[in-house]
């Protein structure tokens, strides 16, 4: 359920329930209803489901999530290269421990 894809708003027209954005999904541009995300402006990213923006994408939160994982990845590789390698091999084999 709920295929929602992040896209970048490149243009906004209208207001209220017919506020519409041209949203760019990596080269695909589609008209999206922005009525439910009045705070979203040109340049913002938004999650789009069936032609409607349902949430502004919190870019800071996204980056924080990734950075945390990247730091852990760096630590893992540094602290215990063997474990990191073992985990990598497990992934390569496609199975759990």
Partner 1 sequence: MTISMDAWSCPLRLRDHPNIVLGHGGGGKLSSELIEHLFLPTFDSDELSELADAAVLAPAEGRLAVSTDSFVVHPLRFPGGDIGELAVNGTVNDLAMRGAVPAHLTAGFILEEGLALEELAGIATSMAAAAKRAGVVIVSADTKVVERGHGDGVYINTTGIGYVPTGVDIHPRRAQPGDAVVLSGTIGDHGMAIMSVRESLGFEADIASDTAPLNGLVADLLAAEIDVHVLRDPTRGGVAAAVNEIAGTAGVGIALDEQAIPIRPVVKAACELLGMDPLHVANEGKLVAIVSSDAAETTVDILRRSTAGRDAAVVGEVVSSHPGMVIARTPFGTSRVVDTMVGEQLPRIC
Partner 2 sequence: MKYLDEFRDPDLAKVLLGEIEETITQPWVLMEVCGGQTHSIIRNGIDRLIPAEIEMVHGPGCPVCVTPLDVIDKALAIAARPDVTFCSFGDMLRVPGSDGDLFTVKSAGGDIRVVYSPLDALAIARENPDREVVFFGIGFETTAPANAMAVYQASQEGIANFSMLVSHVLVPPAMRAILDSPSNRVQGFLAAGHVCSVMGFAEYEPIAEQYDVPIVVSGFEPLDLLQAIRDLVRQLEEGRAEVENAYPRAVSRSGNGPAQAMIGDVFRVSDRAWRGIGTIPGSGWELAEEYREFDAVSRFTVTGIDTMESPLCRAGDVLRGQLKPDECPAFGNECTPRSPLGATMVSAEGACAAYYLHGRFRELEEAAQ
Q: Is 97 an interacting residue with respect to partner 1 (CB under 8 A)? A: no
Query: Judged by CB under 8 A, which of 11, 15, 18, 29 binds partner 1?
Result: 29
Q: In whole angstroms, give the CA distance from residue 53 to residue 72.
A: 33
Q: 11, 25, 58, 85: which one contacts partner 1 (CB under 8 A)?
A: 25
- The backbone region for 23, taken as left when phi is positive above 0, alpha when psi lies in -120 to 50, beta otherwise, is beta
Does residue 79 interact with partner 2 by CB under 8 A? no
The whole-angstrom separation of Cα 95 and Cα 25 is 33
Answer with the entry of partner 2, partner 1, none that 15 interacts with (C-beta below 5 to 8 A by kind): none
Q: How far apart are CA 52 and CA 19, in angstroms?
A: 11
Residue selected from 29, 72, 78, 81 as contacting partner 2 according to rule CB under 8 A: 72
> Which secondary structure element, helix H or strand E, spans residue 39, and what is its range?
none
Q: Which residues bind partner 1 (CB under 8 A)?
A: 1-3, 5, 25-30, 49-50, 90-94
């Amino acid at each position: 359920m709920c295929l929602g894809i992040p896209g970048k708003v490149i243009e906004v027209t209208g207001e209220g329930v017919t506020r519409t954005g041209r949203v760019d999904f990596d080269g695909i541009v589609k008209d999206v209803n922005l009525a439910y995300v009045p705070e979203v402006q040109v340049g913002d990213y938004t999650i789009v489901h069936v032609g409607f923006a349902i949430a502004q994408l919190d870019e800071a939160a996204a980056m924080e999530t990734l950075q945390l994982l990247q730091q852990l990845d760096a630590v893992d590789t540094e602290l215990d290269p063997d474990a990191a390698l073992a985990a990598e091999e497990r992934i390569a084999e496609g199975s759990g421990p």
